[in-house]
Amino acid sequence: MSSIALNYVMTLLARREYSEFELRNKMQEKAFSEEEIENTLSFCQQKNWQNDKRFAENYIHARSQRGYGVNRIKQELRQLKGISNEVIDEALWETTVDWQSLTLSVLRKKFPNYEQKQTPKMKQKIWQYMLSHGFYSEDFADLIGSTPEEDF
């Protein structure tokens, strides 16, 4: 393991948490050899300087604070950050995020009149927004007001 590679990784980790996948990509961009990358990352993991589970926990907390639901966060962790499903599930299991109240607060903030009767177009807009932000439909479907046509 070269000191240059270790210094590079330590500089990155000093600023924020990174997943192993992100660090590997950054090191490849800097043209470090595969052996250097492997040795440096395993050393950092042995010292617990880099930990995918800790990264996932922090990421879940940060993204939920920004109003994103569990589906979106899981997808981002898997596809963008390279975290395994097992680590994601473990981090989600241990999280203290109240997904029900988060769903309700996002609905209240984005659509203050969500409890009132909605036109089909508005109802569709609410559904698209909530689904695209990673919320389960069963968590918000009953909260949205009925359309005027449903009263007949």
Residues 79-111: pLDDT tens digits?
999 999 999 999 999 999 999 999 999 998 998
Could you give the count of Cα atoms lying within 13 Å of 151 in the half-sphere of its Cβ?
8
Euclidean distance between CA atoms 2 and 137, whole angstroms: 50
Residue 143: DSSP 8-state: G
Between 17-31, 36-50, 112-126, 137-151, the lowest mean confidence (pLDDT) is in: 137-151
Give 137's pLDDT tier (boundaries 50, 70, 90).
confident
Could you give the count of Cα atoms lying within 13 Å of 103 in the half-sphere of its Cβ?
23
Both tokens of 43, joined, read 């050393």
The residue whose two tokens read 């192993």 is 20
Q: What is the Cα Rg of the chain in Å? A: 21
Q: 9-54, pLDDT tens digit by residue? A: 999 999 999 999 999 999 999 999 999 999 999 999 999 999 999 9
| pTM across the whole model | 0.86
Picking from 91, 100, 113, 96, the residue whose alpha carbon sits closest to that of residue 69 is: 100
Euclidean distance between CA atoms 74 and 34, whole angstroms: 28
Euclidean distance between CA atoms 116 and 6, whole angstroms: 57
Residue-range domain boundaries for the chain: 4-47, 52-94, 99-143
